[in-house]
Chain A
Amino acid sequence: MRVTIPSPLLHYTGRRAVSATGDTLAAVLQDLDRQFPGLRFRMVDEQEQIRTHMRVFLDQQELHTLSAPMPAGATLHIVQALSGG
């Protein structure tokens, strides 16, 4: 599936859109981490929770759990929350 990448993670991927495979969000993130080592821990903490300031959307729908299924043909959007300073 196609995965879009926010600017804070570009130093891992080097490009705005990448491809990854997996039946669930957890599996897709695992595949991303295989391709781009270190990326997953910046998004997901050690207790398997998506970090507070990261957001993940499947097409238009926000995902809140790593067990969310990944239907074929969809696009996964990783975005950062509008916060900071």
Chain B
Amino acid sequence: MAARDSLALLVATRKGAFILKADPSRRSWKAGGPILLGHIAHHMVQDPRDPRVLLLSMRTGHLGPTMYRSKDRGRSWKEATTPPAFAKADGTRKAHVLDHSFWLTPGHASEPGVWYAGASPQGLFRSEDGGDTWSPVAGLNDHPEYSQWMGATENGTPDGPKLHSVLVDPRDAKHLYVAMSSGGVHESLDRGATWKPLVDGLAVVEGFPADQLYVHDPHCVRYCPSNPDRLYQQNHCGIYRLDRPGQRWERIGLAMPKKIGDAGFPMVVHPRNDKVCWVFPMDGGGVWPRTPIGGRPAAYTTKNAGRTWQRLDKGFPDLNAWWTVKRQAMCGDARDPVGLYVGTTSGEIWASRDEGATWRCIARHLPEIYALETAEF
């Protein structure tokens, strides 16, 4: 997406959505919203093919899930005519009920109007009209091995099992990746009609059988825009890289400092350099507090595709910070140098204008942050 004058952050929170707009230097940010206060906002994403369009997946504590669309960069919103929903059960199909759409991904540049939604429980949905009407992707949702892939609901996250990290190959609209917590990473070469697991090399929690997909828990998978054959993954059990057409993930998180480990939720990749990515480690010891290790938040980056890692904590609290950064709550912009953004469960947004070297809090007192995305306004 070409850089325009105004960068924005699309913030999805447990109590609604917000849009923060930056001045051209990215030093000053102005918060707008709330949008649909009280609704649970899971993901808000701009359409790179038509930057006026934003999609926002929502639910409330009482009502069923739905989707909202804006055609004027968030000034007004309209509910989708047919939001994502699983197909009705029949003799060959299980009775899945959509709890919420968790992840939104715009389709290929050659397919304007196409969007994908990853859901909880695990499911994939597709729209061909800009998000107004949605259909289940039967090749995944009705796959005969669905139950073996996903396991039981309790195998998922505390907020429900999820399909996330929907990736569309920028060179081929038919080539998709998805990841599921739980259920592993899967690849389709035919727009979702058929799928093949991609979990070789991934560790699982000790004592569980790694050959069973339902024990695999990828937290966030990204491809490098400058090299879509390079994938980085933050998994429940480590940080990984996969260079296609290879099939086996390499655990690059083993090079992280031992006292930090390589557990975490988000993964951010550099928009122009496939050797650079960022993670935000969390405490994965004992009962998995999922907080910064020792209460000292820090991002970590590699500049050599995972051979070595550097700590990036300048500006963050140096003690007593016990928030969590969820898998969609860390993102980067496409500027030079790259700006990085972290949203916390305590409602703060931290930003870096220098690729993580220094950090500054740009918003606080927001509701629990589920997702951050950058947008060009």
A and B associate:
yes
B63 beta carbon closer than 8 Å to chain A: yes
Which of A42, A43, A49 counts the most B-chain CB atoms under 10 A from its CB? A42
Shortest A24–chain B CB gap in Å is 18
Whether A9 contacts B89 in the complex (CB less than 8 A), given A38-B79, A41-B83, A49-B97, comes out as no
A61 beta carbon closer than 8 Å to chain B: no
A47 beta carbon closer than 8 Å to chain B: yes
Interface size of A in residues (CB-CB distance below 8 Å) = 21
Residues of A contacting B317 with CB < 8 Å?
A: none
Whether A81 pairs with B98 at a CB distance below 8 angstroms is no
Whether A83 contacts B62 in the complex (CB less than 8 A), given A38-B79, A46-B85, comes out as yes
Give Cα A51 to B96, complex, Å.
13
B81-104 near A? 1/0 per residue, CB < 8 Å: 101011111000001111000000
Whether A43 contacts B61 in the complex (CB less than 8 A), given A37-B81, A38-B79, A38-B81, comes out as no
Give Cα A53 to B87, complex, Å.
22
Shortest B250–chain A CB gap in Å is 40
The residue of chain B having its C-beta at the shortest distance from the C-beta of A39 within the complex is B63
Residues of A contacting B63 with CB < 8 Å?
A: 8-9, 42-43, 51, 53-54
Whether A81 pairs with B62 at a CB distance below 8 angstroms is yes
Shortest A30–chain B CB gap in Å is 15
Give Cα A81 to B60, complex, Å.
12
Count of A-B contacts judged by CB separation below 8 Å: 54
Give Cα A44 to B88, complex, Å.
12
Residues of B contacting A81 with CB < 8 Å?
A: 62
Which of A8, A46, A84 counts the most B-chain CB atoms under 10 A from its CB? A46
Residues of B contacting A21 with CB < 8 Å?
A: none
Whether A84 pairs with B85 at a CB distance below 8 angstroms is no
Whether A46 contacts B81 in the complex (CB less than 8 A), given A38-B66, A80-B62, A84-B62, comes out as no
Whether A51 pairs with B60 at a CB distance below 8 angstroms is no
The residue of chain A having its C-beta at the shortest distance from the C-beta of B97 within the complex is A45
Chain A residues engaging chain B, CB cutoff 8 angstroms? 8-9, 37-38, 41-49, 51, 53-54, 80-81, 83-85
Chain B residues engaging chain A, CB cutoff 8 angstroms? 60-64, 66, 79-81, 83, 85-89, 95-98
Contacts A47-B88, A47-B95, A51-B63 known; list 20 others, CB within 8 Å. A8-B60, A8-B63, A9-B63, A38-B66, A38-B83, A41-B64, A41-B85, A45-B64, A45-B85, A45-B98, A46-B85, A46-B88, A46-B96, A46-B97, A51-B62, A51-B64, A53-B63, A54-B62, A80-B62, A81-B62
